[in-house]
Amino acid sequence: MTTLRTLTLTVIVAVVACLVQAKESYGFGRSLLQTCKKSGDRCSLYATSECCDGLVCTMPLECTSKGDRSECLPECRKQTLSNLTRIEYPSNSGTTPGFEGGKKYKPAVVVMQEWWGVNDAIKQTALHIAEQGYRVLIPDLYRGRVAVERMEAIGLSSDLNWTRGIDDVVKAVEYLRRTGSKKVAIIGFCQGGGMALCGAQFARVDAALPFYGIPSNFTGCNPRLIPRSVPVQAHFGTNDTSFPITTRVMPLVDSMRAASVDIKLYLYDGLPHAFFNAITPAGRLLMSGGSSNFKFPNETLVTLAFSRTTNFLRLHIRH
């Protein structure tokens, strides 16, 4: 009996050692010692392979599955939308290309690209918004060109014709209304955040959400002239070096409020520029450059920004 017990103990120790070795060898994924999570379980966007059976860690539908509408925390679930359709819609330049998703009769959100162009990160962001119950449209301001390096993005952004870009936005809103959407909002990031403010001024949208972006003087936009009927919800990180809070953001917001623009500003302590990219896998890859040592922004604050976005859209274009 003693020999049998000793042998059994030896086998158990060997199995555990193998499991530990597997965990150490494949630390980038789920280890054999880790219990995988099921549909509805909380998870971290920044962890790899926490969810089982083809599920992904992503934002919940309606942000209500485990709490009231103010709660919006990542969970394991299946994606309900996976593709956008390439379209063209009429504009003053003839036609404007774009990417569309969601049901035609749903309230719509125009999603404006960063300076990179319409890359996978902005497409995945648009799909996340569509999953919350909206139709989405990304106008392709660069007409198919997409930057993969910073200097290329600077060049594309510098070459952007803002007069044509604003017309692309105006005509996108008209197209969405004409083809079934009764209400339309606009959201944009970085360069697209500036364009979202231009859209709020010129495109007769029902609401606007600029993320860490301000239109420059040469764009022909003046956020102080946004109609009082258009609510604006702005999002900036306090560590944003592209748009510093004290020298650029607050002076503009204060002047907009003085002009009676309906703007609500949210500041996120310690978050950098482009923090909302952390919501999607493609956005995280863009942020990190593929580095496994990259430190992503505070997940609680990033998901809070998503929650505020969905609540704002629900209030202004879905009621």
Residues 190 and 256 in one domain: yes
DSSP-derived 3-state class of residue 277 = helix
Largest CA distance in the chain: 89
Each residue of 205-224: pLDDT tens digit?
Answer: 999 999 999 999 999 999 99
Q: Residue 163 corresponds to which amino acid?
A: T
The predicted structure's pLDDT at residue 104: 96
The predicted structure's pLDDT at residue 219: 96
| Backbone dihedral angles phi then psi of residue 51, each to the nearest 5 degrees | -95, 150
Residues 57 and 109 in one domain: no
Q: Residue 100: beta bridge partners? A: 85, 137
Residues 185 and 167 in one domain: yes
DSSP state of 206: S
Residues 120 and 175 in one domain: yes
The predicted structure's pLDDT at residue 70: 52
Which structural domain, as residue segments, surrounds residue 225?
85-317
Residues of the chain with pLDDT under 70: 1-34, 64-70, 319
Residues 97 and 159 in one domain: yes
Residues making up the chain, counted from first to last? 319
Residues 49 and 173 in one domain: no
What does the mean pLDDT of the chain come to? 89
Q: Which of 15, 48, 78 is the last residue of a domain?
A: 78
CB 157 within 8 A of CB 115: yes
247 lies in some domain: yes
Give the DSSP H/E element, type plus range, for residue 208: strand 207-211
DSSP-derived 3-state class of residue 137 = strand
Residues 197 and 131 in one domain: yes
Residues 283 and 220 in one domain: yes
62 lies in some domain: yes
Residues 299 and 166 in one domain: yes
DSSP state of 246: I
Residues 70 and 113 in one domain: no
CATH number at 126 reads 3.40.50.1820
